[in-house]
Structure 1
Amino acid sequence: MTAQTVELNGVRVLELPAEGPRLRDAIELITLASEHQADLVAIPAGRLDEDFFKLATGVAGELVQKFVNYRLRLAILGDISARVAESNALRGFVIEANRGQQLWFLEDREALAARLR
């Protein structure tokens, strides 16, 4: 898995590229983040399986819980406004996530850098 590590406002971030296979399993990402000594993993929204955005499947909860267990923060980067508009449950999930410190849904790297200030 090709990824790069960048430092944004003093936080080491493992950034996954926009191109690549869909991601469903967190353990590979957590291992990669550990190898890169990253504190936060940034995943392009397009790399996530569609089931991630259908909360009833449990995919999002399972992925996020693994990151929580390993004390690793997660940012989903990209425009998910169409998905949020279609699902009240997803809208609520995104709003609550963005209030916390563990999981954020943000537009792009610049928004992530601003959030980390």
Structure 2
Amino acid sequence: MIWHYLSFPASEAAEMQAQVMTVKQARWIECRAGVESLDQALELVALCAEHDAPCVLLAEEALPPAFFDLSSRFAGEFIQKLVNYRLAVAGVFADGAAYGERFGEYLNEARQGRQFRVFDGREAALVWLAAQH
């Protein structure tokens, strides 16, 4: 596996951490920490374009509390910005029910998504992302 660690200030208050990951022919951007604003979705899009990576892996711990509060609309808007650029997006959420019934329903629906799909574990997410190439 080849990877490059990227850390860049997304704003003065937060630093988003992302890695370019490559396994065989598959390449994706893995976002590990520091998402604080909707504009950072476009930063992920730019990273994908720069590194010819058509996929994004979002770790649960990388996302802000607003992502898990559906009334904030953060989750929908953030994911929509990524899929508008035809990126395959996998989210790894160990226990979606921990964020409430409505968010759990959102995740259950996303488990069948075509461009945004949710997984319980990283390995299953990587298998799906590799198949998106």
Residues 100/45 of structure 1: CA separation in 2 closer, same or farther (3 Å cut): same
Q: Which has the higher contact order (CA 8 A, sep 6+)?
A: 1
Cα contact 2:91–2:125 (8 A) shared by 1: no
Instruction: Please identify which structure carries the higher helix content.
Output: 1
Superposed counterparts of 1:89-100, under 5 Å: 89-100=102-113
Question: What SS does structure 1 have at the residue aligned with 2:118?
Answer: strand
Residues 86/68 of structure 1: CA separation in 2 closer, same or farther (3 Å cut): closer
Highest Rg: 1 or 2? 2
Question: What SS does structure 1 have at the residue aligned with 2:109?
Answer: helix
Cα contact 2:29–2:44 (8 A) shared by 1: no
Partners of 2:93 and 2:102 in 1: CA distance: 19
1:15 partnered with 2:50: no
Gaps of 5+ in 2: 1-6, 8-16
Q: How many percent of aligned residue pairs carry the same amino acid?
A: 32
Other-structure match for 2:45? 30
Partners of 1:35 and 1:54 in 2: CA distance: 31
RMSD across aligned positions (CA): 2.2
Gaps of 5+ in 1: none
Q: How far does the alpha carbon of each residue in 1:73-100 deviate from its partner, in whole angstroms, 9 at most, with x for none?
A: 2112242x1x524522111211111111
Residues 115/9 of structure 1: CA separation in 2 closer, same or farther (3 Å cut): farther
- The letter of the residue matching 1:108 is G
- The letter of the residue matching 2:114 is Q
Q: CA deviation at 1:8?
A: 5.4
Question: What SS does structure 2 have at the residue aligned with 1:16?
Answer: strand
Instruction: Please identify which structure carries the higher strand content.
Output: 2
